[in-house]
Structure formats: structure tokens, C-alpha cells
Structure 1
Amino acid sequence: MDTRTKLSPTEGESIHSQDMQLDEKLISRKVQGLCSVRYGLAFSVHMCNFILMAQNVIMNITMVAMVNSTDHQAQVNVSTDGLPANSLDGPSQAPKSLPAEGAGFGGQFALWGKWSPPHERSRLFSIALSGLALGSCIVTLLSGFISLILGWPFAFYIFGAVGCICFLLWIGLVFDDPSSHPWISISEKEYIISSLSQEVSSSKQPLPIKAMLCSLPLWSIHFCCFGHQWLVVVLLIHTPTYINSVFNVNIRDNGILSALPFLFAWVCSILGGVLADFLLTKNFRIVTVRKIVTLVGNLPCSAFIVALPYLGSSYVTTVALLILACALSTFAQSGIYINVLDIAPRHSSFLMGTSRGFAHTAAILSPTVNGFLLNQDPEFAWRKVFFLLFAINTLCLIFYLIFGKGDVQDWAKENKRTRL
């Protein structure tokens, strides 16, 4: 009589997954960490995101100096001819930077499906994306001084030169995959390829559009990205205006105070990725980790913003909550924004682009809707704006918490056809 216990398919997959995690941990101990090629790649993308955001923000900050300048009147007229009439409003015109952001993001998303081992994916991805917050921080701190001391054109010259350096860095260090990289060590190449062997295949298959449209896990990511982007827009655009209207203090005119939220966001963005990977090493399921960091990056932030009108005259508390909300919001980068790599690594480049595009519709809708509310009811308008944010963000978050997944979906797996 056979006394061996027959394992169910689910139990077999679980044991196989645990064995793979153990093998990956053993291999990773022999491979360099921060000095490795994959972390160099993350730093290169970090710098490219830094300059991408810096060059977008620099236009908003120097626009006033350009308009008020008498020494460069000819250049001012040329620079503003092609911009919308309301583009002089500064940071509130976020949508005008979307084409440049979209082009910059599209190239980097394709890298992580081939370069990021599953238990380092959150860390590498967050290091790369944290360059956006650092770019906003540095530009906010320095552009005012540069414009005052050297003149506003030098702000473009300096950050343009940094952009050229980042371009050379990208050309020299970034390659499509570990196999094509000329300087990567054999051990690191084998580590990355073996860790991704169950996810990435070289075979090309058409996009399963119909299956994607019917996929609730995919829609949950898109909706949650939309809700999070609505949160980010209110944080960066409307809360400074709220503080100015309530306390008569324009924090945008204070370079240090304006840069603090971005500085904390930069730090917390990296910490969020480290936390997510740490939880994965403690045998947390991928879907659990993604939902935890997404929850931290959404619910507390929107709750802090809703509480602002009830704080009365506490200016210090208001600014502290604003900074804390900006910092915590970056945790979502290691959650919903990278989740498509978990559920569809084969199509991650396309899906990351669609999720970002879907999210950026919030950057267009939010200023329009909130502007309408502020014009209709000046007395209680801010409460309506903040409660609308909380409702949208919470509903999208709940949808993700219910339908979000962390395993590769059937429509994203390789179709293996056998001949009869």
C-alpha cells in the first residue's frame, strides 16, 4: 500500500514557489548588491527621471521671471507664444508636462521585466522612480537662487547640461537585458536570468486585448492608479492654495518649505521599496505586499487631507500633515504601479504605459472638477474638494483590495501549442 500523500496542484505550486524562493536567496548571497550592474541601472534611470521632472518643473518656476524680465523680452515672447494662455499659472498646469513624461516613462518600463529579480523588484523600481521627487526638490530649492543670481536662462542651461550627462549615462550603462550587457558578471547575469525564468519568455505573442479588457485584476490596478493620481494632484496643486487662502502664507514662495514635501517623498519612496522587498523575504505573498504598501500610500494621505479644514488655525500641524501625506503617498510606487509586472510580466511595458495613461486622466479631470467646486461654493468648497478626493481615492482603493492579484494571469502566460 502506498503511504505517500498525493499533493493537490495548489500545494504543489506552493512548494515549488518556496523552493524557488530558497534557491533565489542562496544565489543572491553570492551576488553583489549596491555595486552591481542592476543597481547601476536603477541609478541611471533615477537620474533620468530626476532630469525629466526637473526640466518640467523648471518651466513653472522660472515662468514668472521670464515674463517680468526686461533684459530678455524677445526671448520671452518667443518662449510663450506656443503655450496656452493659462500656462502662466505655474504648477497648477500639470497636464502640459504629460507628453514629455509619457515619452520618458515608456522606455524605462520595458527594462524592469528583464532586469529586476522578484525579491528586488520593488527596491529597484522605487529607486528609479524616486528621481522624480528628487528632481522636484532640487529644482524648487535652486532655481530661485539661479534665476536671482545668474538670470533665468541659466536655470535651463544648467539643468540642460545635466540632462546631456544623463543621456550619456543612459547610452553607456543601460542595455536591453543582462545577456546583452558587456560588463555584467557571470554570476549576476545567471542570478537575474534564473530568477526571471518563470516569468519572461523570448517568444513573441500578440496582445490578448479581449482578455485584458475582461480582467478585473488589471482594471483594479488602473482604477487604483487613477485614485492615487487624483490624490497626488490635490496634494501638489490644491493644498498649497488652501494654505495660502486660510493662513495667507504662500508656501510656493518659500523655496525650503516648498522643497520639504519632495525631500521626504524622495526618502519614503526608497523606503517603501525596501519595505516591500523585506516583506517578500519574510514569505509574505506578493499580492499581500502590494496591497499593504498601496494601502499605506493612499488611505492615510487622503485622511490627512480631509482633516485639514478641521484643524482651525494650526498652521504648523497643517504643513506637517501635508509633508507627511506627500511622503507616504510614494509607497504606492511599490504597490499598484509595479503590480502589472507581477500579473503580466510578458506585457508589462504596454500595461505600465496604459496604467500611467489611465492615471493621468485624473491630472486633467481633477483641476477642472475642483476648480468648478471652488467657484460655486467659496465657504465650504475646500471641504467638498477634500471629501471628493477621499471618496474617489477610497473607492478605487477598495476595488483594488478586493480584485487585485499578485500571480501571473492566465491570459499573460505563454501559449504552448502541441501537435497531435
Structure 2
Amino acid sequence: MNKRKGKDAHLPLGECITQAQQILRERFCQQRLPNRLEGVEAQHKHLVELLKRTAIHGESNSVLIVGPRGAGKTALLRCVLRELLEEKDAQKNLLQVHLNGLLQTDDRIALKEITRQLQLENVVGDKVFGSFAENLAFLLESLKKGDRSSSRPVLFVLDEFDLFAHHKNQTLLYNLLDVSQSAQAPIAVVGITCRLDVLELLEKRVKSRFSHRQIHLLSSLTFAQYLERVRVQLSLPEDFPDLKFAEEWNAGIKTLCEDKSVEEVLQRHFNSSKDFRSLHLLLTLCLSRISIAKPAIRPADLLDTSRLCFADAKANMLHGLSILELCLIIAMKHLNDVYEGEPFNLQMVHNEFKKFLQRKSNSMYNFEQPVVMKAFEHLQQLELIRPVDSSSAKIQREYQLMRLTLDHSQIMEALQKYPQCPTDVKQWAMSAFA
């Protein structure tokens, strides 16, 4: 009876919306692992077998997981580790060390992090080592079991693997791969990278110690599957407290995904990136628009949030410029058109601006040279223009060569949205001649 009551419970609309937002935000932001990854069954099986041989049988291995950003490289590894740690032997023995090329920027920092993650700070103490290899060998030796019969297997995960190739002499990679090949201790080295040419970055001695095993992840997702994933991601679970609200919500989401304008928006996202993190950002923005007054996601919400996601940050910056700064940008655009993208300097831009003033005979835009220079410097601070090279800093400011970092379409689009833009300035921008 109580169970039936719980299922048939009708919560206030505000509470239903709050709970729905909480459930969906957790789903989008916490990136919970699915029960199984779709479309990568062969790669999953290959990686499981490889790491089992290290964790259970003490065999050393090395492998690279290669694929574009958002393809699911880290998710694949996490799913494999979850499955692996369900094995009793692996759970007791396997140690993990996770390094990231963005954080461990040199071998000294990496070694300190390895020591911390293996909890061997007390063992190392104040010992002085002659080389990186000696230090690493000592750490691995310290992991021998109580009976000293064998070492505990260690899994080294190197995220952003290509960045480790930029370390001096690639000492970390060399020593890890050397240990994995020489059977001094059972270790598995798993590199994660989005660079297909990563092996070309390795020195010969490092490359010769690598197993050359590579697991490639390339998204084979079709748009129909992507659309279904959107529907599933936005749907509420069966155990939602208010069954009636959940049914209405899920029916609304199904209708939303069948809407032609929504399909067009999602097709654009699918074509630009199949990364589910960017999709989750879009859906989170949609979710934030839900309220008691508007208790469902509408196609218009998806269209608006899509515009936000695809908004051009540089073009948006133009909306906050003064009329003088906007005029200088238009003068630069004309110089780019006339001289086919060749660099320009302040003097050339000012001359172009003066031509416009002479044609219009408008004293409203008549600015002194120091004011124009100040506006030009502000555009440089905003990085809308940049110097051609750093050596030009010695040249007088008026004659330093610059390039415009905006293209024609960005300028024209920004002009249409510029608040109360004077008609003559718009006409000048649209004219084919300076």
C-alpha cells in the first residue's frame, strides 16, 4: 500500500522541477560511467586483457589510447579499471599512478607525484639518488610484497601523453618503458593522447622500448543515435517521485526531439563536435531556463542556448567599442581588402579614417591624433589587433606593423548588432572602396 502511495504521489510543481533539475544536472556534470560503452566493445576487450595480464599475472605492458577529444578515451579506461578491480587478485595487488602532462610539466615534479601516489614519502626520506632511473628503481623495489617474492603491479596512466615527450631527454618515458620491457617489476604504462603522430615525437631509444600497441577510438556515432542519446539524457528515470510529472516530462522531451527546428540545431552541434561534454553544456543551459511559469523545455530555449554556445567572443567584444574604435576597425578592414591581408600601421589606419571624414565632411568624428592613438592601443590590449613580430617594439608606435585578428564576416555581423550604429558608418563599412 505504501509503495503504491509513493508511486501515485503528486508533489507540488515547484518541488518536481527542483528534483528534475537536480537529477539531470548530476547526470550532465558528474559524468557518471555507463554500465557499458557502446561501439567500443573490441577496444574494451583488448584493454581489459592487457591490464589483466599485468594486474593478475605480473606481466609488463605498454599501450597508447589514441583518439580525438571527447571520443571517450578516459571513459574507456575508467570502465576497464572498474571491471578489473572487481577481480579479487587485482583489487588487492594493483596500484595506480595517474599523471597528466598539463600538471607534471617536468620529470622532477612527475617523480614527486609518483612518490606521493604510491605513499612512499617516508621510505624515500632524505635519500639522495644519482639519477632519475635510480630513484624510480628504488620506488619500485620498495613495493615488493612482505615475503619479498614479487613486486606489486603498478599501472601508470599518462594523460596528455604527447606533452611528456617534451620533457628534457624524455627521461620519464624512457625509464618507465625500460622497466616495462626489462621485467624488473610488473608495470603497465597506458598513454592517453589525441595526437595521431605521437610516435614521431619519441626519441629512438624511447620508441624502441615501446610495445607499439595502439588502441584507436574514432566516433562512429550516427545522427540518429546522437538524437536518441539527447532524448535519453533529458528523460527522467522511472523511479522519479511523481510518476505523472515524469510521464508528462518524458513525453514532452520526445516531442521536442521530433521538432524540425530542434533537429537542425542538434545537427549543427553534431557536425561541429560529437563530444558529449559540449552537448551537456547545451542541455545544462536549456535546463536552467525551466521554472514554475515555464515547466518544460521548448524548441525556442534550445535555439537561444545554441546561439549562446556558438557565440563569437571576438565579434561580441565589438559591441562594447566606442564609435572611434569601431571606425578604426572598419578602416583596417578596408586596408585588408585593398592590400589583400598585408600588415598595416597606425598611420595608414588614421589616413584611411581621414578619407572617410573628408567624404562625409562630418566634424562629429574629428578626433585628435593622441585620442586616435589611445583608441588604437586599446584595440591592441583587447587583442583585436596584434603586432606582426615582437622585434617591432623598438619602432615608433605609429609605424609598428599590425594585423587584424577579425575577419570580414565577424565585423559585418557585429555592425548589424551594434547599438545605435550611425548609418554613415554602416554604409562606409559596406562600401567596396575605401
**TM-score band, normalised by the shorter chain?**
under 0.3
Kindly indicate which of the two structures has a greater share of residues assigned to strand: 2
Instruction: Using CA pairs under 8 Å that are at least 6 residues apart, name the structure with larger relative contact order, 1 or 2.
Output: 1
TM-score normalised to the size of structure 2?
0.22
TM normalised by structure 1 equals 0.23
